[in-house]
Amino acid sequence: MNKIVIIHDDSCNGCSRCVDMCPKKILYIEEGVRKCRVTDENQCDRLGGCEGVCPNKAIRITQN
Ligand code: SF4
Ligand code: SF4
């Protein structure tokens, strides 16, 4: 389970907005299920840009 980038599959509709805006290019859409996934979350800048563009609040960044 991810510890930094938390994705709620039930809310994610696979719209790719977070993927398109992520400056670190660590987000992608898993084909078939059409859900957001993260490659190397340790590269995350934790600035929350993805949270800001997600229409469903399906992605969250932990700050601890
Ligand atoms: S917080 Fe920034 S770097 Fe981290 S996944 Fe979201 S958009 Fe990408
Ligand atoms: S912006 Fe939200 S709903 Fe769209 S792919 Fe990303 S996490 Fe899923």
Task: Report how far apart, in Å, the C-alpha atoms of 15 and of each of 18, 53, 61 are.
Answer: 8, 10, 18
Residue 64 belongs to a domain: no
| Atom 7, ligand 1: residue with shortest CA distance | 22
Ligand 1 centroid – CA 4 distance (Å): 10
Residue 49 belongs to a domain: yes
Task: Report how far apart, in Å, the C-alpha atoms of 17 and of each of 21, 42, 47, 63, 64 are.
Answer: 6, 20, 16, 21, 25
Q: Per-residue pLDDT tens for 14-34? A: 999 999 999 999 999 999 999
Q: Is 9 in the pocket of ligand 1 (CB under 6 A)?
A: no
Share of the chain above pLDDT 90, in %: 95
Is residue 64's pLDDT more than 80?
Answer: no
Total-model pTM: 0.96
Ligand 2 centroid – CA 58 distance (Å): 6
| Atom 5, ligand 1: residue with shortest CA distance | 44
Is residue 1's pLDDT more than 90?
Answer: no
Number of domains forming the structure of the chain? 1
- Confidence (pLDDT) at 11: 98
Give me the domain span that covers residue 20.
Answer: 5-59
Two tokens, residue 6? 């938390």
What CATH number corresponds to the domain at position 44?
Answer: 3.30.70.20
